[in-house]
Amino acid sequence: MQEQNETNLNRAPVWRAFRAAAPQTLPVFAGYLVLGLGYGIYVQSLGLPVWLPPLMGTVVYGGSLCYVLLVQMVF
């Protein structure tokens, strides 16, 4: 039964596309991970609430605009 499920997953075009794209997207993911961690640490160092980075990251999709907004909020 498990062998049949693995065969079906291997044939699915979505999984084949995912496997082909994964090596190219890992460096981008690593960059976003590092920037997100740095942003979270920066927000915490300013004494702002922990829910603010995910909210701003979701609502403000402007790259460095999040940093500008934090400076405006604190000073």
- The pLDDT tens digits of the residues spanning 41-69 come to 888 888 888 888 888 877 777 767 777 77
CA 32 to chain centre: 6
Amino acid at 17: A
Whether pTM > 0.85 for this model: the answer is no
| Predicted local confidence at residue 9, as pLDDT | 56
Tokens representing 44?
A: 């915490």
Q: Would the pLDDT of 8 be above 70? A: no
Contact of 39 with 57, CB cutoff 8 Å: yes
75 sits in which H/E element: none
> Looking at residue 30, what is its pLDDT?
92
Q: What is the mean pLDDT of residues 34-42?
A: 86
Tokens of 65: 């605009």
Rounded Cα–Cα distance for residues 22 and 42 (Å): 30
The highest-confidence range among 29-33, 57-61, 71-75, by mean pLDDT, is 29-33
End-to-end CA distance of the chain: 62
